């Protein structure tokens, strides 16, 4: 991860108002986190010129989304992905950022703050947004190296380092103390990073503040199913270790060895600075409805405050507070009235939702739905015909609806019978109309939890002209982080715009809202390593995809992680799975490789023998100058391959989205017009490129003179040899839409022809969409683009070439030889019922 | 009364894949194992052009025929979407770690 660009940051170079002459009131913000910066954003949205703003941050970074530290730990996002406001935001708004230098004192009489480095800055208005501190339970050993909290980027770095160190030893042990949300996210991330994780939780069920017992139990068994050890009702006595942490001892004497202990038992408002400054502090810094503390010139916002006796540790109330605060600072009168909170979470990829009070008790009725086989549990708590609480596990789609009913205190007696089945059912009909559902939400219903965007804001943003998903993402940030609300935003777009939705680029398939390009980009950006991981992180709408997306994802992962990705056979089309071409009668045809179209008696004899031995009804010369043996039964394939292998022949990959053939003419060796050795060059190209997987089938040809007998100008990559060298052609296609190639460039040596060929293939492999041949790809991106990347950018070409060759170092293994040697032999065989039915089956 | 034929264990079939079973005088049967370890059995022929369904990509509780990409519901054998047609299903159950398929009716008399 690269944090360097975001490192300690001092005054921005260009400010719209130089501080010395700036006569505006000076707002100093202590805290560069989510609350502090959001408050400034709200203020700027109301009156961008009213205050001169200076922000102090303890961490050496720009404003980032602390909630998203879990995905960073889990390797799903990079630090850059979780930045809320980058350097430009500070600069464009004339905000001075003093990062990596925490404020250590407030002098209210002099109206100044002083930072750790000794800097003293005067203020007219001061905003304290110091958030909260992790709670460290006072057990022996809590200060040992290796004991950390899970609060900031530094903690994430420590965890990553521990996981890395553990890897060298075959997976280290980690203990997470605390089975709340934060603890479970830490545990999940560490598990994904390869550590063996034990979660120690004091209470009897996990996340007892958000979930009832039943849901907590479901969560526990799901996490155990993923290899974590969960100890509930477990009380930590001591963290032991000599000089650094070595393990945790429980009160009952059990010892759990660990090289890393993450303490995630809770947080408490960070109030020390306010307390020392003599402000009124109870559990948090006391504030009024406009977030003003006991000093009228000092405000406070976020997790560090206490409003009306309540302290909040969730993001939604924070947005509410920031709005009221900004109203107050710009002489508007709204006033914060407290927040009812809901939690919609993905804990370790499991959907969990809770809202309101679900403790039950007198006068409360519980409506419960359990569907054990689907892993779904829903509980709605109703008092006096109004929803007062809800817990959902496994299927949280209706969370927003329940929460909306709860906040509006709506009478649900009319729909009580159907309430538990969700909005679609309860609103009558039973047919699911997601658009009606989103249309029915109130304006302040939260759409995007990551960025705190309510329905009203999304609608306003669409009405101001954002008429595509991307535009909404760019304008109000809804759906711009984790993407789980993408469907909601799309439905809102069509509700608001009617028919006028600009449909974006086509999605990869019906299972996802992402396009091919999105998916490819995210696979690389989030370093995804398996198909299930992609489907999980990108919120696939089907359990295991479909016959369109699975082969595409398999290819994208294979291309992104050469030598590392474990190929998924079941996500390959039958031809690639069986290494032969399926024909209309269910038999297969087999094409051995004949390098550059050359063959010899030994190979021909082997082919002839195979044809006789297996009664192949037909042999045919293919368009790419190879021999195709038809009518081979699935059961006979391994034996056919073994015979062909024995004659030195390997698979021609005629069945794959891969390099098929390199067609040649005889060139200078025999032809009276030939200018170069096109046959020899064709063999060299085929030796370099065989075995490579591609977005689609890929054909090459090399012609020895401009008469072009190998038809190189309708191939994906073609070489036409001329007196002075080699013309390189790309993007040809002899298929349904015949397309002649574009001339890429001319080179003078055979080696250059090979190098350009490798670079071109790799560019196509990395950037084309699955099942897009070079012809439509080049028409889409433009041949000039390809020239820029391959011809003009020498370093880029070399990088592409070496990535191709690196990938080839893993892929040039003959799949036939592996099968002939017995790999996956059962795939070629029928299941055999045991006797006596076996006897019947044997006819 | 149904006769059940033991054809092996779940592990004999690749997840999201299929194996075939041959019984004398009968059409070949494809036995599918889904991602969530349900097992289904169908005659190994697509209702469209007799493509071997056992070689298709299994997704959810459906299989895509390898010849022309028709989607067949594993439970009912019916073609999905705009396509029409149905492949005969064969009753199948898992018992004590074994997979059993119902012996096709025409064999009953013979046995």
> In this predicted model, what pLDDT tens digit does every residue of A427-455 receive, in sequence order?
654 445 667 777 877 787 778 776 778 88
**Residue A709 annotated as lining a ligand binding site:** yes
Inter-chain contact A840–B55, Cβ cutoff 8 Å? no
Q: Residue A524 CB: number of other CB atoms within 10 A?
A: 14
Q: How many whole angstroms separate alpha carbon A455 and alpha carbon A489? A: 9
Inter-chain contact A550–B59, Cβ cutoff 8 Å? yes
User: A97 pairs with which residues across the strands?
Assistant: A55
Q: Which domains does chain B have, with CATH numbers?
A: 4-106 (2.102.10.10)
Q: How many whole angstroms separate alpha carbon A264 and alpha carbon A517? A: 38
DSSP A789: I
Q: How many whole angstroms separate alpha carbon A692 and alpha carbon A685? A: 12
One-letter-per-residue 3-state SS of A95-137: CEEEECCCEEEEECCCCEEEECCCCEEECCEEEECCCEEECCC
Fold: same for A23-130+269-327 and A133-266: yes
**Residue A665 annotated as lining a ligand binding site:** yes
Chain A residues closer than 8 Å to B79 by CB = none
Chain A residues closer than 8 Å to B5 by CB = 833, 837
Q: How many whole angstroms separate alpha carbon A676 and alpha carbon A705? A: 8
DSSP three-state, residue A648:
coil
Chain B residues closer than 8 Å to A585 by CB = 50
Domain locations along chain A: 23-130+269-327, 133-266, 431-497, 514-571, 656-825
How far off is chain B from A812, nearest CA to CA, in Å?
A: 25
Q: What is the pLDDT of residue A397?
A: 78
Q: Please name the residue of chain B whose CA is at the shortest distance from the CA of residue A571.
A: B57
Chain B residues closer than 8 Å to A837 by CB = 5-6, 23, 103
Positive or negative, the CA dihedral A382, A383, A387, A388 is negative
Strands A285-287 and A305-307: parallel
Q: Residue A484 CB: number of other CB atoms within 10 A?
A: 17
Q: What is the pLDDT of residue B76?
A: 94
**Residue A671 annotated as lining a ligand binding site:** yes
* Mean pLDDT split into 10-residue runs, chain A, 843 residues: 39 46 90 93 91 94 86 80 86 93 95 95 96 90 93 91 82 91 88 91 86 82 88 93 93 93 91 95 94 95 92 82 91 80 68 78 79 77 89 83 86 82 66 68 77 85 82 77 71 78 69 86 88 82 86 96 92 94 93 96 96 95 95 94 95 95 94 92 97 96 94 96 95 86 96 97 96 93 95 96 96 92 85 55 35
Task: Decide if A69 contacts A152 (C-beta within 8 A).
Answer: yes
Task: Decide if A35 contacts A53 (C-beta within 8 A).
Answer: no
Chain B residues closer than 8 Å to A571 by CB = 16, 57
Q: What is the pLDDT of residue A20?
A: 57
How far off is chain A from B1, nearest CA to CA, in Å?
A: 17
Q: How many whole angstroms separate alpha carbon A381 and alpha carbon A370? A: 15
Q: What is the pLDDT of residue A340?
A: 73
- The class (CATH top level) of A23-130+269-327 is alpha beta
Q: Is B66 on the interface with A (CB under 8 A)?
A: yes
- The class (CATH top level) of A656-825 is alpha beta
Torsion of CA A438, A442, A448, A449, to 10 degrees: -130
Task: Decide if A720 contacts A682 (C-beta within 8 A).
Answer: no
How far off is chain B from A56, nearest CA to CA, in Å?
A: 52
Inter-chain contact A542–B60, Cβ cutoff 8 Å? yes
Q: What is the pLDDT of residue A557?
A: 96
Inter-chain contact B14–A546, Cβ cutoff 8 Å? no
Choose the mutation target among B6, B56, B62, B66 for the interface with A, i.e. most A CBs under 10 Å.
B66
Hey, what long-range contacts does A773-776 have (CB within 8 A, 24 or more apart)? A773/A695, A773/A696, A773/A697, A773/A716, A773/A733, A773/A735, A774/A696, A774/A698, A774/A716, A774/A717, A774/A730, A774/A731, A774/A732, A774/A733, A775/A716, A775/A731, A775/A732, A775/A733, A775/A735, A775/A737, A775/A739
How many helices and strands, by DSSP H and E, does chain B display?
1, 10
Strands, sheet with B39-43, edge to edge from the N-terminal-most edge strand: A830-831, B17-21, B29-33, B39-43, B89-90
Question: Is the complex ipTM more than 0.90?
Answer: no
Q: What is the pLDDT of residue A7?
A: 38
What predicted TM-score, i.e. pTM, was given to this entire model?
0.53
Q: How many whole angstroms separate alpha carbon A187 and alpha carbon A348? A: 8
Q: Is the CATH code 1.10.760.10 the one for domain A133-266?
A: no
Residue A193 CB contacts under 8 Å (≥ 6 apart), including other chains: A73, A74, A75, A159, A160, A163
**Residue A705 annotated as lining a ligand binding site:** yes
Chain A residues closer than 8 Å to B100 by CB = none
Any idea which architecture A431-497 has in CATH?
Orthogonal Bundle (1.10)
Residue A273 CB contacts under 8 Å (≥ 6 apart), including other chains: A30, A103, A104, A105, A106, A128, A130
pLDDT in tens, B16-43: 999 999 887 788 999 999 988 899 999 9
User: A292 pairs with which residues across the strands?
Assistant: A299
Q: Residue A173 CB: number of other CB atoms within 10 A?
A: 22
């Amino acid at each position: 991860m690269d944090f360097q660009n975001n490192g300690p940051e001092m005054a921005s170079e260009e400010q719209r108002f130089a501080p010395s002459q700036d006569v505006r009131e000076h707002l100093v913000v202590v805290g560069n986190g989510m609350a502090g910066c959001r408050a400034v954003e709200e203020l700027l949205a109301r009156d961008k010129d009213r205050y001169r703003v200076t922000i102090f941050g303890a961490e050496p970074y720009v404003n980032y989304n602390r909630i998203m530290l879990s995905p960073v730990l889990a390797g799903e996002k990079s630090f850059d992905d979780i930045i809320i406001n980058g350097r430009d935001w500070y600069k464009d708004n004339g905000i001075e950022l003093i990062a990596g230098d925490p404020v250590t004192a407030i002098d209210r009489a002099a109206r100044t703050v002083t930072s750790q480095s000794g800097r003293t800055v005067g203020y007219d208005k001061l905003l304290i947004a110091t958030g909260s501190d992790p709670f460290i339970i006072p057990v022996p050993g809590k200060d040992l190296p290796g004991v950390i909290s899970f609060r900031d980027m530094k903690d994430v770095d420590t965890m990553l380092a521990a996981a890395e160190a553990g890897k060298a030893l075959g997976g280290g042990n980690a203990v997470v103390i605390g089975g709340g949300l934060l603890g479970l996210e830490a545990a999940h991330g560490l598990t994904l990073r390869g550590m063996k994780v034990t979660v120690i939780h004091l209470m009897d069920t996990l996340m007892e503040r958000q979930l009832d017992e039943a849901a907590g139990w479901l969560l526990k068994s799901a996490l155990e199913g993923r290899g974590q050890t969960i100890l509930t009702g477990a009380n930590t006595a001591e963290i032991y270790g000599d000089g650094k942490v070595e393990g945790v001892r429980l009160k009952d004497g059990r010892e759990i060895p660990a090289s890393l202990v993450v303490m995630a038992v809770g947080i408490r408002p960070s109030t020390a600075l306010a307390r020392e400054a003599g402000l009124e502090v109870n559990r948090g810094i006391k504030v009024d409805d406009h977030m003003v503390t006991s000093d009228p010139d000092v405000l406070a916002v976020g997790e560090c405050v206490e409003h009306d006796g309540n302290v909040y540790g969730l993001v939604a109330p924070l947005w509410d507070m920031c709005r009221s605060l900004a109203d107050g600072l710009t002489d508007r009168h709204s006033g914060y009235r407290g927040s009812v909170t809901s939690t919609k979470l993905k804990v370790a990829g499991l959907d969990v939702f809770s809202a309101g009070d679900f403790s039950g008790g007198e006068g409360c009725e519980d409506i419960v739905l359990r569907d054990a086989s689907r892993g779904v549990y829903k509980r709605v708590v109703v008092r006096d015909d109004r929803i007062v609480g809800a817990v959902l596990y496994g299927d949280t789609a209706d969370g927003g609806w329940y929460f909306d009913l709860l906040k509006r205190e709506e009478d649900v007696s009319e729909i009580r019978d159907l309430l538990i089945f969700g909005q679609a059912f309860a609103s009558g009909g039973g047919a699911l109309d997601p658009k009606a559902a989103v249309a029915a939400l109130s304006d302040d219903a939260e759409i995007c939890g990551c960025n705190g965007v309510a329905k009203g804001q999304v609608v306003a943003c669409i009405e101001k002209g954002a008429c595509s998903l991307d535009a909404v993402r760019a304008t109000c940030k809804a759906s711009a982080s984790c993407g789980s609300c993408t469907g909601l935003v799309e439905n809102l777009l069509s509700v608001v715009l009617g028919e006028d939705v600009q449909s974006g680029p086509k999605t990869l398939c019906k299972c996802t809202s992402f396009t091919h390009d999105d998916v490819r980009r995210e696979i690389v950006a989030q370093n995804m390593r398996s198909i299930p991981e992609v489907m999980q992180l990108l919120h696939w709408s089907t359990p295991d995809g479909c016959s369109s997306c699975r082969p595409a994802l398999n290819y994208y992962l294979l291309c992104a992680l050469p030598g590392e990705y474990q190929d998924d056979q079941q996500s390959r089309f039958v031809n690639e799975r069986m290494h032969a071409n399926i024909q209309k009668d269910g038999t297969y045809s087999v094409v051995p490789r004949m390098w550059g179209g050359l063959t010899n008696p030994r190979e021909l004899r082997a082919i002839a023998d195979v044809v006789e031995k297996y009664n192949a009804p037909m042999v045919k010369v293919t368009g790419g100058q190879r021999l195709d043996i038809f009518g081979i039964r699935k059961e006979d394939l391994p034996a056919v391959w073994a015979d062909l292998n024995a004659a030195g022949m390997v698979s021609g990959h005629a069945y794959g989205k891969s390099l098929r053939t390199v067609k040649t003419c005889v060139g200078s060796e025999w032809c009276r017009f030939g200018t170069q050795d096109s046959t020899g060059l064709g063999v060299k190209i085929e030796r370099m490129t065989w075995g490579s997987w591609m977005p689609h089938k890929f054909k090459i040809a090399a012609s020895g003179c401009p008469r072009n007998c190998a038809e190189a100008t309708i191939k994906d990559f073609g070489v036409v040899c001329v007196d002075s060298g080699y013309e390189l052609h790309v993007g040809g296609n002899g298929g349904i839409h015949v397309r002649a190639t574009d001339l890429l460039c001319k080179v003078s040596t055979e080696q250059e022809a090979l190098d350009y060929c490798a670079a071109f293939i790799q560019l196509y492999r990395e950037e084309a969409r699955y099942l897009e041949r070079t012809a439509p790809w080049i028409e889409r991106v433009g041949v000039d683009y390809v020239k820029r990347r391959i011809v003009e950018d020498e370093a880029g070409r070399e990088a592409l070439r070496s990535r191709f060759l690196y990938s080839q170092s893993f892929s040039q293994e003959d799949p036939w030889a592996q099968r002939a040697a017995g790999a996956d032999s059962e795939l070629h065989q029928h299941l055999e019922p045991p006797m006596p039915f076996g006897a019947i089956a044997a006819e | 009364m149904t006769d059940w034929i033991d054809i092996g264990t779940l592990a004999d079939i690749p997840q999201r894949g299929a194996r075939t079973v041959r019984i004398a005088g009968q059409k070949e049967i494809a036995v599918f194992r889904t991602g969530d370890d349900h097992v289904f059995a169908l005659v190994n022929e697509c209702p469209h052009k007799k493509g071997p369904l056992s070689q298709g990509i299994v997704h959810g509780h459906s299989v895509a025929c390898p010849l022309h990409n028709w989607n067949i519901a594993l439970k009912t054998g019916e073609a999905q979407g705009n396509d029409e047609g149905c492949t005969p299903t064969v009753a199948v159950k898992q018992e004590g770690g074994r997979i059993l398929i119902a012996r096709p009716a025409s064999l009953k008399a013979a046995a």
